């Protein structure tokens, strides 16, 4: 993983790596890895931005993803970047995380509406 951040950036390589290891439940960074992921964080108009570049092998084209925040919520951008990377590294684990998050949101919504109707 290559990580570039300017002084105007919000996320550090250490924070991103910790988030990935936590989500994947293992350390995906291996010295002999064929795949390469580059992340660049910076400021955008009205918020932060990140560009993710993923290259599986030399023969395959590079995949890119750009993410931006509305406002200066670094934690939200870091989470979105980490989830995008998890989906690229381990799609099955990534989809499991998305499903769990959706179920948590639905449960929270049900609890809120129950509390409101009491």
> Would you state the pLDDT for residue 94?
78
Structure tokens at 103: 């179920």
> Would you state the pLDDT for residue 115?
41
- Series of mean pLDDT values for 10-residue runs along the chain (118 residues): 55 89 88 86 90 87 91 91 89 79 59 41
- Which are the contacts of 83, defined by CB distance < 8 A and separation ≥ 6? 23, 94, 97, 98
Sheet with 2-5, side-by-side order of all strands: 2-5, 36-44, 47-55, 63-68
Do 67 and 76 touch, CB atoms closer than 8 A? no
The domain limits of the chain are 2-90
Taking the C-alpha atoms of residue 109 and residue 91, their distance in angstroms, rounded to an integer, is 27
> Would you state the pLDDT for residue 8?
56
| Dihedral, 63, 91, 56, 30 alpha carbons, nearest 10 | 130
Topology given in CATH for the domain delimited by 2-90 = Double Stranded RNA Binding Domain (3.30.160)
pTM for the structure as a whole: 0.74
């Amino acid at each position: 993983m290559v990580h570039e951040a300017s002084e105007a950036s919000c996320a550090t390589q250490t924070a991103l790596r910790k988030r990935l290891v936590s989500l994947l439940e293992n350390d995906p960074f291996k010295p002999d890895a064929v795949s390469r992921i580059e992340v660049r964080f910076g400021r955008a108009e009205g918020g932060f931005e990140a560009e993710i570049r993923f290259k599986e092998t030399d023969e395959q084209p590079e995949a890119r993803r750009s993410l931006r925040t509305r406002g200066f919520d670094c934690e939200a951008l870091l989470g979105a970047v980490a989830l995008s990377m998890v989906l690229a590294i381990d799609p099955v684990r990534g989809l499991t995380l998305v499903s769990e998050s959706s179920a948590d949101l639905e449960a929270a919504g049900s609890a809120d509406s129950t509390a409101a109707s009491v």
